[in-house]
Structure 1
Amino acid sequence: MRRAISKLKPLWHGLVLMGFVLGVLGVLDAVPVFVAAVPPLVLITLIGLGVVLGSVHPRAEEHEPCAMAAPVRGRWAALNTPGQQLPSHGTRFLGQYCAIDILRPTTADTPAKVRKAWRGSRPEEYLSFDAPVHAMAPGVVTRTWSGSRDHRARNTWQGLLYMMSIEGVFRSVAGQRALLGNHVIVRHDDGTAAVYAHLRRGSLSVQAGQRVGVGGQLGEVGNTGNTSEPHLHVHLMDRADPHTAAGLKMTWENITRSGEIEPSLQEIAKEPAENAVRSMPRNGEIFEA
């Protein structure tokens, strides 16, 4: 039942968007006559239905983390990681229960997380940008998207506010491509599937139907979709369709952890929650693959 409801996610999100738009029109006193004629209780019920059903996501049975190879090489830092808590991104939407974001450790030349400027930093200014992304396990590519542009970082106060309000709402409603940006989905030989998101436009080196081996290059890190700065987002699912998939726990076998914390992420480097995947790096922790 959860999968059937989750498959209609665009419909539920459409109802929520309708409520958001009507709210804005109401503030502007510009609600269309045909909408004003509908009883308020009916509109409230439809919007409430969208909120409730839109929060229904598939869940996997309790299991040991699936062993994978890391999707990158070299030194990286973890953020919004299952090594800190589950759900790692605060949601199970699109199978993200055990998702992880990773980015290159900062240097003196890395743009600040938040700065005073009119525009955000260019993606090319970040070390993570255009780093190779590798397959975590062997399988077949089931879906790719490469039509999203690499946007500037949301590292100004106005940029962050825009991302967390207007942009965030519309990307959530627009769905998979708007959130993940350029991405690749690989269905593994054991039936699980992995999502690699926020890839650089023009960097994809695979296409749907193509078989890839563990470590095979899929593309490069970009800044597309719902992202504040260039980084790689990956997560594991129990099937290749994110709308009907349940997120799965995973662990990377080929990483070395020193316990070192990325300075720019020091504020979020806390002790892991009880349900954290202890074999994965926690928030802010630097690892090498």
Structure 2
Amino acid sequence: MLVNLWKRYGLVFAAGAVCIVVNVQGIGPLWYTGVALLIAGRVMRVTLIREQRPPPGREPLLLRAPVTGRWLALNGPATKVPSHTHSHAQTYAIDLKYVPEGGGSGQGVTSQAPPFRWLWPLARSPRRYPTFGRPLLAPADGVVVATAGGQRDHLSRMSLPAFLFLYLEGFIRGLGWPSHLLGNHIVLNLGDGVYAAFAHLRRGSLEVAVGDRVSAGQQIAECGNSGNSSEPHLHFQLMNGPDVMTAQGVPFAWRYRDDDGVAHTGVPADTTHCVPLSPLPDRPYEARAN
């Protein structure tokens, strides 16, 4: 019961902000109430995030990569941990953007993502990005435990004014429910207390529903630009529970090759490219590396 209350820290913080904004009588009961609620909301958030810090030393779980083709890794655990933040079980999360090899096309859209602009254009259609519409695959056999697929794919935030807006937008989204941050998403139960989450999916692209069983390598959705996203990409993470508000992150590994053709087992470092390879032949699509 207490955990469920703590998960509503956003509402408490927002209520405090409203009290202060509507207060017209200076420092008084309403102002003090607002300040108290702001402090309470902040304390609730910090306490909840502290509980989401995973214990150190867990071995990465070897999975099938959830994509095919050549991808650029960003905000991944090979470069720093937490890769994002401990909040929402993102300790070992990774962001991936599709970058076609040899300038090839991406799902019939464009072969190159539009560059970041300082002022203009402020935003672009997500369809301008090669990542948009790329198929996403189940990393192991599992069962679908949560889905959301109706949020719109918004314009990119790849200009300075739009990027500043993204920070404000992200703060506000963070006060709401997890789906406001994740956008369209899927959570899979991979067994042994491990869950995989896919975020920022394309509206209407989900090919599974809660309760469906999926096989490793099966297409389950497409990349989109929903939720707290600057441009189309896949946000992928493992966690030890189905609720991103209370679960802890779990490390993972893939087999992939880099641009020099060297094969690796692990997670690509930030700003490096990777092409997924088949899993180890004696342990296909295992959920465990040991």
TM-score (norm: length of structure 2): 0.82
Correspondence 1:84 to 2:75: no
Provide, for residues 60-97 of structure 1, a one-character-per-residue CA deviation record: whole Å limited to 9, x for no partner: 333111111111001001001001101101x1111111
Q: Which residue of 2 aligns with 1:281?
A: 268
Distance 1:184 1:115 in 2: 34
CA displacement 1:228-252 (0-9 Å, x = unmatched): 0000001000011212211111111
| Partner in structure 1 of residue 151 of structure 2 | 148
Task: Work out the CA distance in 1 between the residues paired with 2:28 and 2:83.
Answer: 43
For the residue of structure 2 that corresponds to 1:103, the secondary structure is strand
Q: Tell me if structure 2 keeps the 8 A contact 1:183–1:195.
A: yes
Name which of 79, 82, 89 aligns with 1:95.
Answer: 89
Q: Do the aligned partners of residues 282 and 259 (structure 1) sit closer, same or farther apart at CA in structure 2, a change above 3 Å counting?
A: farther
1:250 counterpart = 2:237: no
Amino acid at match of 1:279: G
Identity across the alignment (%): 34
1:59 maps onto 2:79 in alignment: no
Aligned to 1:264: none
Q: 1:22 to 1:162 in 2, by over 3 A?
A: farther
| Counterparts of 2:269 and 2:144, CA distance in 1 | 29
**Is residue 99 of structure 2 the alignment partner of residue 105 of structure 1?**
yes
1:132 match: 135
The more displaced of 144-153 and 102-111 is 102-111
Equivalent position SS for 1:8: helix
Q: RMSD of the alignment, in Å?
A: 2.3
SS in 2 for 1:48: helix
Kept in 2: contact 1:87–1:98 (CA 8 A): yes
What residue is the counterpart of 1:199 in the other structure?
201
1:193 and 1:236 in contact (8 A); partners too: yes
Q: Does 1:47 align with 2:41?
A: no
Q: Deviations over 1:182-210 (max 9, x none)?
A: 00000112220010000000100000000
- Equivalent-residue separation in structure 1 for 2:82 and 2:29 (angstroms): 39
3-state DSSP of counterpart to 2:175: helix
2:167 aligned residue? 164
CA distance in 1, matches of 2:149, 2:245: 19
Alpha-carbon spacing, 1:7–1:215, altered in 2? closer, same or farther (3 Å): farther
Return the letter of the residue paired with 2:208: V
Partner secondary structure for residue 77 of structure 2? coil
Tell me, yes or no, if the aligned pair for 2:19 and 2:34 is still in contact at 8 Å.
Answer: no
How far the C-alpha of 1:19 sits from its partner, in A, is 3.6
CA contact (8 A) 1:71 1:134 kept: yes
Call closer, same or farther: CA 1:9–1:232 in 2, change over 3 Å: farther
231-240 or 55-64: which moved more?
55-64
Range that drifts further, 44-53 or 214-223: 44-53
Q: Distance in 1 between matches of 2:257 and 2:121?
A: 39
Which residue identity does 1:86 align to in structure 2?
A: V
Q: CA offsets, 1:92-133, max 9 Å, x none?
A: 111111100000227674211234325401100101000000
Q: 1:283 to 1:21 in 2, by over 3 A?
A: farther
Report which stretch shifted further, 57-66 or 68-77: 57-66
Shift of 1:287: 0.5
SS at match of 2:270: coil
Q: How does 1:197-276 map to 2 (within 5 A)?
A: 197-252=199-254, 254-258=255-259
Number of aligned pairs? Answer: 260
Change (3 A) 1:21 1:111: farther
Q: State the AA in 2 paired with 1:171.
A: R
Segments of structure 2 that go 5 or more residues without pairing to the other structure are: 104-110, 277-290
Q: Residue 179 of structure 1 aligns with which residue?
A: 181
TM-score normalised by the chain length of structure 1? 0.83
Structure 1 residue 15 and structure 2 residue 3: aligned? no
